[in-house]
Structure 1
């Protein structure tokens, strides 16, 4: 996958993409990440990318010309058809694991990171294919949200994670939160690993993990259960949880 990022602060991405899973994906040629500064596509000698808002108001608005020209330059150089332009903005739809899986099917993602009071609406309506937010809060710019989305999407690409089974067990991948995990030592400060995980009985372990996943989801994010296909055993277990919590 080719990922292009339009950012006024390219230096912000070096630390994040220079380590851990993303770094290995780049080294294995699974990911190709390139950063473009919209200032390089501004019209005047001051590389101006923002201006005052029509109608008045505080703050500056990002101009359309540098962003349109930057995206067009990226597209003309890469010539990738299966591509999507994503605008990172609090006004967009909230990012989810399902969206990460969907975006992983593209050959190229082009992220536009904003600053100031936002974008000229012609960028939103006529340049971006989709507007994405990572939550109901506002950050200084779109760089951190872009990093979050890129990291989540990268995990969905074949060969990025050490095991092909890692992603499907993540929280949200199948609608539920992940079950609790344990490792050595077997006992620490009087706290023991559940016996079922040491039993070697894979059927019992699978059942325990499913039920614990349901328990964690019911406790922390019950809203997610409305979107998950539940078996009869799942429903019975959840009913017991509800009765015990009364």
Structure 2
């Protein structure tokens, strides 16, 4: 169900029933070693930042700006809102790296990279079809395998769930070595936003890269 309407499971990108069983009461504590993912549009839909705790794989929706369905074309998420949220995030946690989709936010993210370093704030373009399809596959496997969990008691937990449920699939002209067709995220319905799901994927991808690199938290902040 999505807003009391039936949704065919085959159209959804992820196993929503399985996602519902991954909730944990444990928060991501201040000072934890984390990655973040950032995705969204400035004037429409929504924009989100999702945290991933590197040691545990636990995720939390850190920030969400969402355009109301009744808002007019003047509605906008300001650059300062996003930068202030990232500042609070970096002040609260030990950040290894954040991956962001640059579209609509190039200048803001360059400012963030100027503050925290371009090895910390890293561009990850989601319009690269094959790379995005494999990212979706890896995140879907993390959900199915229970490698990712989520903080159920956070104020934005229901929004996280809603966006995961609203993420649809658009198959692409690529297959894995088992002959299964890959897909990228897409809208199920024009009014259903899924930017949190995309940000969660980016955050998870950064976490996988942290594990691959053997990353360890340093003793200082992520400022240069």
TM-score with structure 1 length normalisation?
0.28
Indicate the structure (1 or 2) with the bigger Cα radius of gyration.
Answer: 1
TM-score with structure 2 length normalisation?
0.30
Q: Per chain length, whose mean CA-contact separation is higher, i.e. which structure has more relative contact order (CA < 8 Å, sep 6+)?
A: 2
**Bigger fraction of residues in strand:** 2
